[in-house]
Amino acid sequence: MKPILEIKDLHVHFYTYAGVVKAIAGVSFTVYEGETFALVGETGCGKSVTSRAITRLIESPGRIVKGSVIYHTKDGRKIDLLKLPEAELRAIRGKEIAYIFQDPTAALDPLYTSGYQVAEAMVVHRTVRSWKDGIKRAIEILRSVLIPDPEKRVKAYPHELSGGMKQRVVIGTSLSNRPRVLIADEPTTALDVTIQAQILKLIESLKRRHNATVMLITHNMGVVAEIADRVAVMYAGKIVEIGNVFQIFKNPQHPYTKGLLKAVPNPLIKVEKLESIPGTVPNLINPPPGCRFHPRCPFVMDVCRVEEPPMVEVEPGHQVACWLYTKR
């Protein structure tokens, strides 16, 4: 498999009045061409910050303090997106690497029609010759994302659309320039279960049609099981386990991954009480020393409290950062 994105030792800090929030601390992973790569973890673990840091969309008071994001272009070049001049990065952001943002209502401008916003993405990146061509193409795109009566909806403002339709417009906008990498940041969070299934099926079909790579940000393990090829589990700003979807679900290694999976209800098994992970997410202004999960871990050892565990390979393609396996 050919890599398309290589994130290496990424650190992101937020400088607040309360102190420096170490939101991302040494995150490293590789996304391969044509796969669906899922980044999972509980709310506040740094998934969205990681995805936004890839194209430097971190807003003040946040700052990328260290690391590199290597993007493999179509012609075989390797570009560090964190060192690229802003003008060159803009040519990639939205065209070759596009986003589906978490909240479609916030992602769409209420002052412009849905057709204008889809067309704008193409006009800015000059993938259409004129605004007229852009609007014509926007109608085709709205049809491809299964919006009924696209000739009428292209003139509709965001407030005139349902939540599912707004999410489809956002997906259409992100796919309008046929990006090589599509970063979907919890694209089904605000939608009901029926619409969630439709949106996931739509992303999968569009991925195959455009031969795109999808990076999915989610905390929904059911969504991960359904569409992901590989999974990275994140906790308190660090990657704790990486493997393919079968390794993560059938043979989880890290205590946090095991806890996450035990907290998911299984409709095939009668369970009196769902298990929960004790404790709370640590304060990232003063994160715990050593392994950040050790205050909540049932297998904690003395070394966990003082030294950060290295990432080790427990089987081909399956890595875990835990002293249990390093000792072994």
222 falls within a domain: yes
CA distance 149 to 12: 44
* pLDDT exceeds cutoff 90 at 15: yes
Contacts of 95 (CB under 8 A, 6+ apart): 125, 127, 177, 179
pLDDT at residue number 275: 77
Most confident stretch, 20-24, 41-45, 218-222: 20-24
114 falls within a domain: no
Tell me the CATH number at 58: 3.40.50.300
* pLDDT exceeds cutoff 70 at 328: no
Average pLDDT over residues 8-14: 96
pLDDT at residue number 268: 67
pLDDT at residue number 271: 67
Residues 106-134 pLDDT 10s: 889 999 999 999 999 999 999 999 999 99
53 falls within a domain: yes
How is residue 92 written in tokens? Answer: 């990639």
Task: Determine contact, residues 99/117, Cβ cutoff 8 Å.
Answer: no
State how many domains the chain has: 1
* pLDDT exceeds cutoff 60 at 71: yes
pLDDT at residue number 104: 86
pLDDT band at 9 (very low <50, low <70, confident <90, very high): very high
When the pLDDT of each residue in the chain is averaged and rounded to a whole number, the result is 90
Task: Determine contact, residues 18/50, Cβ cutoff 8 Å.
Answer: no
pLDDT at residue number 190: 65
Q: What percent of the chain has pLDDT over 90?
A: 67
155 falls within a domain: no
Residue from 112, 124, 188 nearest 154 by CA:
112
Distance, C-alpha 68 to centroid of its chain? 17
Average pLDDT over residues 257-286: 81
Task: Determine contact, residues 64/53, Cβ cutoff 8 Å.
Answer: yes
* pLDDT exceeds cutoff 80 at 178: yes
pLDDT at residue number 326: 79
Average pLDDT over residues 136-142: 93
136 falls within a domain: no
Average pLDDT over residues 142-167: 91
CA distance 328 to 325: 5
pLDDT at residue number 278: 85
Q: Which domain holds residue 186?
A: 3-96+177-327
204 falls within a domain: yes
105 falls within a domain: no
How is residue 203 written in tokens? Answer: 């992303």
Residues 213-256 pLDDT 10s: 999 999 888 889 889 999 999 999 999 999 999 999 999 999 99
The lowest-confidence range among 173-187, 216-230, 241-255, 261-275 is 261-275
Contacts of 92 (CB under 8 A, 6+ apart): 55, 71, 79, 81, 84
* pLDDT exceeds cutoff 70 at 327: no
129 falls within a domain: no
Cα distances from 113 to residues 13, 26, 50, 108, 156, in angstroms, run: 36, 41, 31, 9, 5
In terms of DSSP H, where are the helices of the chain? 47-53, 86-92, 104-107, 114-124, 131-144, 150-153, 163-175, 193-210, 221-227, 245-250, 255-262, 302-306, 323-327
The helix/strand/coil state of 204 is: helix
pLDDT at residue number 43: 84
